[in-house]
Amino acid sequence: MPLVAHNDLPTFKLLQSGGELVLSLDRATRQDIRELHIGFLNMMPDAALTATEQQFIRFVGASNQIAQFYVYPFSLPELNRGEKAEAHIKEHYFNFEDLASQGLDALIITGANVTNPDLEREDFWDPLMEVVSWAENNVASVLCSCLATHAVVKHHHGISRSRMATKKWGVFSHKISQPGHPLMRDVNTRFDAPHSRYNEVTKAQLEDAGLVVLVESDDAGVHLAVSPDLLRIVYFQGHPEYDAISLLKEYKREVIRFFKGEREHGPRYPENYFSPQAGEVAKQYFHRAEKAAARGADLPPFPDAELEALVDNTWGDTGKAIVNNWLGLVYRLTNLDRKEQFMPGVDPDDPLQLKG
């Protein structure tokens, strides 16, 4: 169902040019279809700000719910931004205070880069918790991604994430552990999903806190968990929103960081991501770059186009299916909230009414 281009956010035009259905505000207001208003707290660093914006808004737009989706991106002033990102946010993003006043049906919170081992010491912690606390009583559901998951389980349940020996980075096979859950409707019981993180919360930690683990991997750990009421908070530890080239862009950034002296060793390849042919292309480039660095010459151009043709997206359909199920449950729950005014006995807080 269509997204609504209710302001001049460039992502709407980009998605429309790529074949996504995006309605103008004038056309949308003349259609008799229910609206869902979704907040999107984008905390990603500048290099990934607009890419993450496009990935999550595309997910929402790919939903098959009979609804018009208004997505309201906003960020936190405490996040360190460059001039270009600040200008983008100032021109196209919304203020949280205004969104809280007008009301939202659901909220998506992205990950973020951190500088402290203790999340509570981050400058963005208090304003993030202000948003989370507001959402507890004012939206039907909150969907958290990666760092946001770690922050919210810390806030709600006192769960502290732990640093892993090496970065969990790549594409991993996962299995649904609760196939009867409504978020798992029509989702393959086994599927791939990307991860990119140095820290983790474990299945044991989540289950000890009463959370329900829905999807996990023998190699990557928990991918998806939910609050015990089935919907109020959805926790992704992986990255279902990633494009086919998202891990490639991360690898490129780490290669460049190495040659700038910002990291001691060259990066590993993302696991289960590069084909043998892609690995050979990356290996040959690294050798050429080493020789150029030894001579004091400029690094050769990274082989973006060649590698982009050699990597695959093996997780996108599953991610879209899960987000579609989530939006469907939000739609039904918000409908129950509205019907309660006219239908005594309908309890919008009863998760059993979301099944079936």
Query: Can you tell me whether residue 227 is helix, strand or coil?
Result: coil
Residues 6 or more apart whose CB falls under 8 angstroms from that of 155 comprise: 129, 132
Which residue, 95, 159, 158, 91, is CA-closest to 130? Answer: 95
* Rounded distance between C-alpha atoms, residue 148 and residue 111, angstroms: 5
Of the candidates 53, 216, 241, 254, the residue annotated as catalytic is 241
CB neighbourhood size of 54 (10 A) = 20
108 φ/ψ angles, rounded to the nearest 5 degrees: -115, 135
CA 91 to chain CA centroid, Å, is: 22
Residues 6 or more apart whose CB falls under 8 angstroms from that of 56 comprise: 40, 42, 71, 108, 110, 241
* Rounded distance between C-alpha atoms, residue 151 and residue 114, angstroms: 11
* Rounded distance between C-alpha atoms, residue 12 and residue 6, angstroms: 9
Of the candidates 150, 200, 239, 254, the residue annotated as catalytic is 239
* Rounded distance between C-alpha atoms, residue 182 and residue 64, angstroms: 16
Query: Can you tell me whether residue 284 is helix, strand or coil?
Result: helix
Amino acid, res. 85 = A
For residue 174, list its beta bridge partners.
191
Is 340 catalytic? The answer is no
Per the structure block, which two tokens stand in for 117? 């081992």
Query: Quick check: 60 and 38 in contact, CB under 8 A?
Result: yes
Is 241 catalytic? The answer is yes
Which residue, 222, 196, 219, 187, is CA-closest to 208? Answer: 222
Is 150 catalytic? The answer is no
CA dihedral for 282, 46, 265, 197, sign (positive or negative): negative
Q: Give, in order, the Cα–Cα distances in Å from 80 to each of 28, 123, 152, 256, 345.
A: 36, 9, 21, 21, 48
Of the candidates 37, 122, 146, 223, the residue annotated as catalytic is 146
The catalytic site residues sit at 146, 239, 241
